[in-house]
Amino acid sequence: MAYLAIVRHGQSVWNLENRFTGEVDVDLSPQGEAEARQAGQLLTPYPVDCAFTSVLKRAIRTLDIIMQQTGQTNLPVTRSAALNERNYGDLQGLNKDDVAKQYGVKQVDEWRRSYDVVPPHGESLEHTYERVVPYYQANIEPTLAAGQNVLIVAHGNSLRSLMMYLEKISPEDIAKTELATGVPRLYLFDNDMKLEKATYLSVSEKDKVIGV
């Protein structure tokens, strides 16, 4: 019986500034560092055998802070661009409110939340799914099947793609699915890799162990 923990990186500088970030390599804000510390505190009851992250510094730094908080500073870590945030193309670096004024709120919502609508010269969530899920199937799923517990620290859209796969979320429903920065989500699998439970960890539940 293995478990998987996923964490969206803490708030980044561009999250704070309400800008489209995508694959631009920006760092954590002070609040993001605090969120990463809290995520580490919440994950302390759930030690893992290895971790995976993207190659972007906001995810890498979040993982580093989590490892410091949990005391697992020698954890084996694999970094892959397959887990990077989706590329927002021409929107990257632009203020979301300014883009909404130019293109309309409905269009911006479609770019941000839909499954298959592509922002100008960027990636849709579908494109992100097509690189995240095969990477998970090839590199992370076998690790879980071998009984090892795994932590993934990545990004809103790369992790929403993974949530679609793990929780069988439809393209229509994923538009309503959010993953807050710095809030761990824990997946518990049986010995046949059937998902038994998925739950968010919160401050009020940090000492609660769900069958591990």
**Which phi-psi region, left, alpha or beta, contains residue 18 (left: φ > 0; alpha: ψ -120 to 50)?**
left
Residue among 179, 193, 210, 211 nearest 9 (CA): 179
The answer on whether 113 is annotated among ligand-binding residues is: yes
Nearest-angstrom CA–CA distance, 5 and 69? 15
The answer on whether 38 is annotated among ligand-binding residues is: no
The answer on whether 12 is annotated among ligand-binding residues is: yes
The answer on whether 87 is annotated among ligand-binding residues is: yes
Residue among 184, 179, 164 nearest 63 (CA): 184
The answer on whether 156 is annotated among ligand-binding residues is: yes
Residue 50's φ and ψ, nearest 5 degrees, are -160, 165
For residue 23, indicate whether it is catalytic.
no
Residue among 35, 37, 6, 57 nearest 167 (CA): 6
The answer on whether 22 is annotated among ligand-binding residues is: yes
The answer on whether 15 is annotated among ligand-binding residues is: yes
Structure tokens at 19: 């800008």
The answer on whether 148 is annotated among ligand-binding residues is: no
For residue 167, indicate whether it is catalytic.
no
Q: How many CB atoms lie within 10 A of CB 45?
A: 15
Catalytic residue among 9, 23, 35, 155: 9
The answer on whether 88 is annotated among ligand-binding residues is: yes
Residue 206's φ and ψ, nearest 5 degrees, are -65, -20
- The alpha carbons of the chain give a radius of gyration, in whole angstroms, of 17
The answer on whether 9 is annotated among ligand-binding residues is: yes
Catalytic residue among 23, 35, 85, 110: 85
Per the annotation, binding residues for substrate are: 8-15, 21-22, 58, 85-88, 96, 112-113, 156-157
| Residues with catalytic function | 9, 85
Per the annotation, binding residues are: 8-15, 21-22, 58, 85-88, 96, 112-113, 156-157
